[in-house]
Structure 1
């Protein structure tokens, strides 16, 4: 056998389908095998492989073994001449494996080879070629300073900056996303070191390959796409700590690097502190800014009103500045928060909706204040007017709200074309409609020149793609994985460049994957059915509903306790919901697919209504699906209203 393709998967269901199909196309004329090791995913990845890829060897682990151990499980099964370790969020070209095989056959000194990688927007990924993680290289990489010296062999050694993107050359380190190796080399130097759970194992293995007397090459004559950012958040504090811990392990295992241990520990603490401060600032600065804007607006207007309307400095009592303005400020900020003005991704619209509700609530509070605390409605109205002006300025000129405004406008004007045959075009349009994403499909493009033009919105053939994009001002292209060869997908992405969004519709799953933001390296997303229960605003409304209902039940408990069917669990249920350990309404535990829905705490009741005989209605999965997709707090209210006598039962104890 010539080649074993090994893929370790962990909760990347939308990407794995396209990855496996691209691998199958690339393996068409190669004697080989595909091995998928699933690290206990909860997104139905094993079912995807079993149902749609029956020829693929599946190893389904019952827990997360980590990247190194999972790969070693597959390496132990392989008897091929070559092996390739491949990430599940990749798409290989049809010539990728044959090109690598040909190169390795003609370069007996080579122990491994890596290829040119592009992100989801068609941009070159610098980790396609890397150097060893010396202390300087690691610091330059983690601090981002390497970007100031892109061609430096020393200051950008982590990404081998002295080697050109299209230059075949020897390198020091392969990336774990694509490691094409001789099996004989792996057998000689050993498999991946399992002391590394994630990050560092590819560096360690590459270093052992070169120490074993083999060369590692960067081969840019073939390309793959690597949708980064799904398995981990690379800007997170956890990533920084994990990365440096991997570097510590690497230094410990290789004596020539041991002198850097204390410096690396210092770097861990430094970067950890910076990331913690940065994360806190990113999380809270929008709230703090609005608090300042609210307070400043009311304070400025009150002073102005004192001077020019009442002509009396100090007209407003100290209580106005100590009680009224802080009350209005706190109220406005809380209402903005409850309306999702600070939820990520930031939305320009949510700020305006939040302001509308804030103004209404502030005016209502003013109306109910004691006479001694009511000053002037005009001060309130003018203060709100000043705030909305300052809010508009801040949202328009300060990131990330400025980006949110651009994204909101982009969503309203996103023009897309579909490259697919008639059947796939119809299916893709249905997926987009179900996703509720604001995409304007302006037409379809035939991937085959002699395909009959039966679609009313046909714009022509793929050979005219450049003209179609220019004339119709297309911003997004959706390719069908069923009708478009993967080589055609990657070739067009390379040819057209990163100025467009490129999406790929899986042929067997309800997913369209691609780059979410062409200006953000490594960010990717999947168009799927949008679940309201995935939105922070809906989860917040559900939690508020739980709290208010629990307080109401507690207040009414002296009477309610005699009306419900089961009294034993009533108060335990009540206090668990108040503490957030339970929710009044959640999925029924009998649903085996509930793990594919937005997660919820265990519930007391369920959207599934018991039958007269104590059983559970059919189509349990569909009921939960609709509940998560269309959730509104009134849904919980209607369920609770119809099942309130069961609130004292053991959580979700039907039949």
Structure 2
């Protein structure tokens, strides 16, 4: 924050809006300095600041906007040859940073899957070598079959890993186990369907998949140790949360957690004062020992019983790995931020939607694609089952190319996780046939978003099949 006499602001002018997001404070400080005043930086104040919705650091947009602000500053406050030289170097810096940012972003997106692909292919080739030379002895397999089969099985493994959530943010070993088991099931089932003439050995596949799992697990453990890979703690699902609040505020917070679908995370209450006002785990002066005793990893502070200064002083003394969240008395949300680099998170009534889960969203898109392809393949049959065949197949191709989804929301606009325009809504009817009041449609959408699964879509499509041509 900045503080100054109003007369100085009247003299030099307000924030320049062309610097929006980055550089507006630098520009104002420079204008104050040019007007003959001095700027003082006070480093001893402490604030709680949550990472918000501003541009993600390191992204291409961040680089562009940050250096654009620098260019604007130079153009505004410098002139002549000096300005031209500065702008040239700034533009060169923008291009270099943009290049590095693009490469880094690409590596973050595809780096782990590429390494996994190398591991899987290598594991299959190594297994084949040892199998044919030391187990089956001098067995020769068709090079053409192997050259085609191994990359195909690797692709199947990666797709299975993607759809089971292995590459989602926050790694858990159970994700790798689940991905490997699903991939093994699909690969071995595919192998069983191949003609006898192109089969090589089921043993190579089984041992190759097992070796892939071992090597991928070792790689991830090393990445975690080197802090290249974020993890989800083993006890995340059993996360222990305590609330520092008075009895009335504690009831409000636990009610909020209940409505958000997380009641099991609240262990109990800590008195915000030194006097006992009701059942609690202890008082505020006992917080450090209580955190250790109950293996707490999250604390929710209510500002009603404590001043912000007191809360800040307590937060500063918490050990590493203890996350803090904050609730304002009378509000219906809990906010916090575990990292200066990531957007802050929050707990609010109704924000625990299953359809927001990355795995569920991928599965929904996969279902859209598979159903669209099924309808295309079954064209000779479906032309007799749909009244408006042209409109039906327009919907099929719109869904296939991600312009629409088979099932979506009935009420628009709404505050639920975004979906494409639906063919059918959560009522199993197309939007033009919905006659329920908006409140009822919103409730139907809420049930759909909260309890979403692929089976939900299949049931609604089955129920509203004759309306797929709307």
Common fold: TM-score over 0.5: yes
Match of 2:217 among 380, 387, 392: 392
Q: What is aligned with 2:20?
A: 197
Please give the per-residue CA displacement for 1:444-465, whole angstroms capped at 9, x wherever unaligned.
1011333422x2xx12211222
1-side partners of 2:253 and 2:363: how far apart?
32
Return 5+ residue gaps in structure 1 as ranges: 1-177, 650-655
Q: What is aligned with 2:191?
A: 366
2-side partners of 1:541 and 1:269: how far apart?
38
Q: Is 1:324–1:373's contact at 8 Å kept on the other side of the alignment?
A: no
Please give the per-residue CA displacement for 1:273-308, whole angstroms capped at 9, x wherever unaligned.
011111111110111111111111111111101111
Q: What is aligned with 2:426?
A: 607
Secondary structure, aligned partner of 1:260 = helix
CA RMSD of aligned residues (A): 2.6
2:112 maps to 1:293: no
Match of 1:491 among 313, 318, 328: 313
Match of 1:423 among 217, 226, 248: 248
Q: Is 1:533–1:628's contact at 8 Å kept on the other side of the alignment?
A: yes
Secondary structure, aligned partner of 2:137 = coil
2:461 maps to 1:640: yes
Q: What is aligned with 1:322?
A: 147
2:197 maps to 1:377: no
Deviation (angstroms), 1:390: 0.8
How many residues are paired up? 462
Q: Is 2:223–2:229's contact at 8 Å kept on the other side of the alignment?
A: no
Q: What is aligned with 2:63?
A: 240
Q: What is aligned with 1:466?
A: 288
Deviation (angstroms), 1:215: 2.0
Q: What is aligned with 1:181?
A: 4
Deviation (angstroms), 1:483: 3.8
Please give the per-residue CA displacement for 1:517-562, whole angstroms capped at 9, x wherever unaligned.
4xx5565222343222222221211111111222222334444344
2-side partners of 1:580 and 1:512: how far apart?
35
Deviation (angstroms), 1:498: 5.3
Q: What is aligned with 2:356?
A: 534
Q: Is 2:172–2:231's contact at 8 Å kept on the other side of the alignment?
A: no
Q: What is aligned with 2:107?
A: 281
Q: Is 2:383–2:389's contact at 8 Å kept on the other side of the alignment?
A: yes
Over 3 Å counting, the alpha-carbon distance change for 1:218 and 1:401 in structure 2 is: closer
Q: Is 1:412–1:438's contact at 8 Å kept on the other side of the alignment?
A: no
Q: Is 2:274–2:284's contact at 8 Å kept on the other side of the alignment?
A: yes
Q: Is 1:546–1:583's contact at 8 Å kept on the other side of the alignment?
A: yes
2:443 maps to 1:622: yes
Q: Is 1:447–1:483's contact at 8 Å kept on the other side of the alignment?
A: yes
Deviation (angstroms), 1:572: 2.2
Please give the per-residue CA displacement for 1:186-223, whole angstroms capped at 9, x wherever unaligned.
11101221222321111111111111122222234543
Range that drifts further, 357-366 or 616-625? 616-625
1-side partners of 2:132 and 2:423: how far apart?
56
Over 3 Å counting, the alpha-carbon distance change for 1:498 and 1:600 in structure 2 is: same
Please give the per-residue CA displacement for 1:419-456, whole angstroms capped at 9, x wherever unaligned.
11223223323433454569743331011333422x2x
* TM-score (norm. length: structure 1): 0.66
Deviation (angstroms), 1:469: 2.5
Q: Is 2:132–2:140's contact at 8 Å kept on the other side of the alignment?
A: yes
Deviation (angstroms), 1:402: 6.5
Over 3 Å counting, the alpha-carbon distance change for 1:179 and 1:608 in structure 2 is: farther
1:57-456 map, 5 Å? 178-220=1-43, 222-255=45-78, 258=83, 259-312=85-138, 315-399=140-224, 406-412=231-237, 414-435=239-260, 440-453=265-278, 455=279
Q: Is 1:417–1:445's contact at 8 Å kept on the other side of the alignment?
A: yes
Secondary structure, aligned partner of 2:233 = helix
2:376 maps to 1:554: yes
Greater share of strand: 1
1-side partners of 2:107 and 2:155: how far apart?
19
2:323 maps to 1:501: yes
Over 3 Å counting, the alpha-carbon distance change for 1:208 and 1:383 in structure 2 is: same
Over 3 Å counting, the alpha-carbon distance change for 1:301 and 1:522 in structure 2 is: closer
Secondary structure, aligned partner of 1:215 = coil
Please give the per-residue CA displacement for 1:133-163, whole angstroms capped at 9, x wherever unaligned.
xxxxxxxxxxxxxxxxxxxxxxxxxxxxxxx
2-side partners of 1:432 and 1:316: how far apart?
59
Please give the per-residue CA displacement for 1:111-136, whole angstroms capped at 9, x wherever unaligned.
xxxxxxxxxxxxxxxxxxxxxxxxxx
Q: What is aligned with 1:27?
A: none
Q: Is 1:298–1:379's contact at 8 Å kept on the other side of the alignment?
A: yes
Over 3 Å counting, the alpha-carbon distance change for 1:509 and 1:561 in structure 2 is: farther
Over 3 Å counting, the alpha-carbon distance change for 1:337 and 1:406 in structure 2 is: closer
2:414 maps to 1:573: no
Q: Is 1:478–1:504's contact at 8 Å kept on the other side of the alignment?
A: yes
Q: What is aligned with 1:102?
A: none
Range that drifts further, 525-534 or 288-297? 525-534
Q: Is 1:348–1:405's contact at 8 Å kept on the other side of the alignment?
A: no
2-side partners of 1:266 and 1:207: how far apart?
24
